[in-house]
Amino acid sequence: MRRLLSALLLAAAALVALPPGTASAGTVADYPEFPYPATAYDEPYRGQFHFSPRAGWMNDPNGMVYYRGTYHLFFQHNPHGLAWDTMHWGHATSTDMVHWTQRPIALEPGVHPGDLWSGNGVVDTANVTGLKSGDDDPILVFSGTNGVTVHYSTDGARTFQTFDRGRKVAVPSGTSRDPHVFWHAASNRWVMVVWNDGGGNGATFYTSPNLLDWTYASRFAAGWFFECPDMFPLAVDGTGTVKWVLADASGEYVIGAFDGTTFRPDWSAPQRMDLGTNTADGTFYAGQTFTGVPDGRVVQMSWQPGNHGSTWTGDQTFPAELALKTFPEGVRLTRTPIREISTLRSGGQAYSNRSVSPGGPLAVATADTYEVTAEFDVAGATASSFGLRLHTRADGTYDRAVGYDRAAATLYGRPLAPVNGRVRMRVLVDRGQLEVFGNDGRLSVSDNVNFNSAGTSQGIQAYAEGGAVNLVSLQFYRLGRAWGTGESTLDGNLAGPWSAVGGAWTDTAGGKQATATGDAFYLSNTTAGDFTYEGDVKVVSGTAAALTFRASADGTQHYTANVDTGGVVKLWRPGKEIAVAATPIVAGRYYHLKVVAAGSRIRVYLDHGANPVIDATDTAYTSGRLGLNVFHGTAILANPTLNGTGLRTNLAGPWHPAGGSWTVPGAGLRGNSGTDAFALSATTAADLTYEGDVRVVNGVAAALTFRASADGTQHYTANVDTGGLVKLWRPGQDIAVFATPILEGRTYHLKVVARGPGIAVYLNGTKVIDASDGTYASGYLGVNAFNGTATFQNLNLSP
Ligand code: FRU
CA distance 175 to 127: 32
Q: Ligand 1: which of 76, 120, 145 to mutate, most ligand atoms within 8 Å of CB?
A: 76
Q: Span 101-121, mean pLDDT?
A: 89
Q: Does the pLDDT value for residue 456 go beyond 60?
A: yes
Nearest-5° Cα angle at 429, 428 to 431: 145
C-alpha 94/C-alpha 97 separation (Å) is 5
**Does the structure show a pLDDT above 70 at 11?**
no
Per-residue confidence (pLDDT) for residue 52, from 0 to 100: 97
What is the whole-number distance in angstroms between the Cα of residue 222 and the centre of ligand 1?
Answer: 19
Which has the closest alpha carbon to 534: 576, 503, 563, 572?
A: 563
- Can you tell me the distance from the alpha carbon of 472 to that of 418, in angstroms, rounded to the nearest whole number? 14
Say how far apart CA 583 and CA 568 lie, in whole Å.
5
As a three-state string, the secondary structure of 241-310 is CEEEEEECCCCEEEEEEECCCCEEECCCCCEECCCCCCCCCCCCEEEEECECCCCCCCEEEEEEEEEECC
Query: What's the rounded mean pLDDT across residues 291-307?
Result: 97
- The count of residues in the chain is 799
Nearest CA to ligand 1 atom 9: 227
Average pLDDT for 480-508: 73
251: confidence class by pLDDT, cuts 50, 70, 90: very high
CATH of 6-337, one of 1.20.1560.10, 2.115.10.20, 2.40.30.260, 2.60.40.1180: 2.115.10.20
Pocket mutation for ligand 1, best pick of 58, 60, 74, 89 (most atoms within 8 Å of C-beta): 60
Q: Closest ligand 1 atom to the C-alpha of 177?
A: 10
Q: At residue 19, does pLDDT exceed 50? A: no
Q: How many whole angstroms from 118 Cα to the centroid of ligand 1?
A: 6
Per-residue pLDDT, 304: 98
As a whole number of angstroms, the distance between CA 162 and CA 483 comes to: 31
Residues of the chain with CATH 2.60.120.560: 340-479, 499-642, 656-798
Which ligand 1 atom is nearest residue 228's CA? 9
Per-residue pLDDT, 461 = 98
Asked if 603 and 614 count as a contact pair (C-beta separation under 8 A), the reply is yes
Conformation bin of residue 314: beta by default, left when phi > 0, alpha when psi is -120 to 50: left
Residue 14 confidence class, pLDDT cut points 50, 70, 90: very low
- 97 vs 100: CA distance, rounded Å: 7
What does the pLDDT read at residue 68? 93
Instruction: Kindly tell me if the per-residue pLDDT of 72 is higher than 70.
Output: yes
CATH number at 340-479:
2.60.120.560
- Of 30, 60, 440, 615, which one is the catalytic site residue? 60
Dihedral of CA atoms 219, 225, 226, 230 in degrees, nearest 10, equals -80
pLDDT of residue 306: 97
**What is the pLDDT at residue 697?**
74
Give yes or no for a contact between 57 and 84, defined as CB atoms under 8 angstroms apart: yes
Q: Does the pLDDT of residue 508 top 80, yes or no?
A: no
Using one digit for the tens of pLDDT, what is the confidence trace for 309-344? 999 999 999 999 999 999 999 999 999 999 999 989
86 or 607: which carries more pLDDT confidence?
86
Give the torsion sign (CA, 266, 268, 274, 279): positive
Q: If you average pLDDT over residues 663-675, what whole number do you get?
A: 74
Average pLDDT over residues 352-362: 98
In the structure, what pLDDT confidence band is assigned to residue 23 with cuts at 50, 70 and 90?
Answer: very low
pLDDT number for residue 756: 97
Model confidence at 646, pLDDT cuts 50, 70, 90, reads confident
pLDDT at position 772 is 97
CATH of domain 499-642: 2.60.120.560
Strands 362-366 and 271-272: unpaired
Ligand 1 centroid – CA 90 distance (Å): 14
Kindly report the average pLDDT of the chain as a whole number: 91
The average pLDDT across 92-105 equals 88
**Ligand 1 site, CB within 6 A:** 59-60, 76, 87, 117-118, 177-178, 227-228, 249, 280, 285-286
Compare 29 and 597 and report the one with higher pLDDT: 597
Q: What is the pLDDT of residue 610?
A: 79
How large is the average pLDDT for residues 515-526?
94
Q: Omega of the bond prior to 209 within 30 degrees of 0, cis?
A: no
* pLDDT band, very low/low/confident/very high, at 4 (cuts 50, 70, 90): very low
Most confident of 23-37, 192-206, 673-687: 192-206
Query: Would you say residue 491 has pLDDT above 70?
Result: no
Q: Is 60 a catalytic residue?
A: yes
Q: Is pLDDT above 90 for 108? A: no
Question: Which of 316, 324, 313, 256 is closest to 286 using CA atoms?
Answer: 316
Confidence of residue 797 (pLDDT cuts 50, 70, 90): very high
Cα distance between residue 247 and residue 304, in whole Å: 17
Helix, strand or coil for residue 456? helix
Return the SS3 of 190: strand
| Yes or no: domain 656-798 corresponds to CATH 3.40.50.1100 | no
Distance 57 CA to ligand 1 centre (A): 13
Task: Enumerate the CATH 2.115.10.20 domain ranges in the chain, comma separated.
Answer: 6-337
88 alpha carbon – ligand 1 mean position (Å): 12
Report the percentage of the chain scoring pLDDT > 90. Answer: 75
Q: What is the DSSP letter of 339?
A: G
pLDDT digits (tens, 9 = 90+) for 709-760: 999 999 999 999 988 899 999 999 999 999 887 776 677 899 999 999 999 9
Say what the pLDDT of residue 506 is.
73
Lowest model confidence (mean pLDDT) among 14-28, 531-545, 749-763: 14-28
